[in-house]
Amino acid sequence: MVNLTRIYTRTGDAGTTALGDNGRTHKTDLRLAAYADTDETNSTIGVAISCGNLPIEVQETLTRIQNDLFDVGADLCMPLKESYEWEPLRVKAEWIAELEADCDRYNEGLEPLRSFILPGGTPGSAHLHVARTVCRRAERAAWAAIEAYGEEPASGERAETKGQGGVNPLTAKYLNRLSDLLFILGRVANDSAGGDVLWTPGGGRE
């Protein structure tokens, strides 16, 4: 279990931070950017739940996802290696399939889209669209980390060096599916309040 007895540690005052394997890395590390953006996604979802007046079923789905996002962050901060002293949290393909099932289930009850939509309408929808855009940024950051560190576990002498190792590509795929679901849930949040706010090409000037 996590035991947080003191929040500040001063260990990051030199511009470095710890990864999941206790290796130190710069705070500009692409892996850190990926799980920081994932954390921001989680926070924006929390805002949507707390002040968005969302249907109970949607709130329950989002709360499950908030727990998942902590696991995504834990995965991103733990470099891939061939073996560990303890089994780390890793995103699983089943989680992505679960998001796809959620997309299908919630989308089934919505009217087909014949235009792009504007973020807005109800507060819940607006907050979910903010969460969607932050999630897209988290996904881009995850892919950047994957490009930088690869998708393969560290082996040999490299595996003995903390902070070395690849990045699980399922983290980025999870974030991709999640952004799709957040778009759909943004529509669900507007469904009982008159529907989507549609984009007018040309800014509505004509």
Residue 174 banded pLDDT, cuts 50, 70, 90: very high
- The pLDDT of residue 68 is 97
State the sign of the Cα–Cα–Cα–Cα dihedral 41, 42, 47, 52: positive
Distance in angstroms between the alpha carbons of the first and the last residue of the chain: 60
Record the pTM.
0.88
Q: How far is CA 198 from CA 16, 28, 151, 182, 202, in A?
A: 45, 39, 40, 17, 12
- The pLDDT of residue 129 is 97
The β-bridge relationship of strands 16-18 and 24-26 is antiparallel
Q: Above 80 in pLDDT, residue 195?
A: yes
Rounded to whole angstroms, the Cα distance separating 65 from 16 reads: 29
Chain centroid to CA 54:
20
Q: Above 90 in pLDDT, residue 77?
A: no
- Report the pLDDT averaged over residues 160-188: 92
- The pLDDT of residue 146 is 96
Q: Above 90 in pLDDT, residue 5?
A: no
Going along the chain from its start, the domains and CATH numbers come out as 25-106+118-195 (1.20.1200.10)
Lowest mean pLDDT, pick from 83-87, 125-129, 184-188: 83-87
Centre a 10 Å sphere on the Cβ of residue 139 and count the other Cβ atoms it contains: 23
**Residues 119, 123, 129, 132, Cα dihedral to 10°:** 180
Residue found by looking up tokens 């529509």 in the block:
187
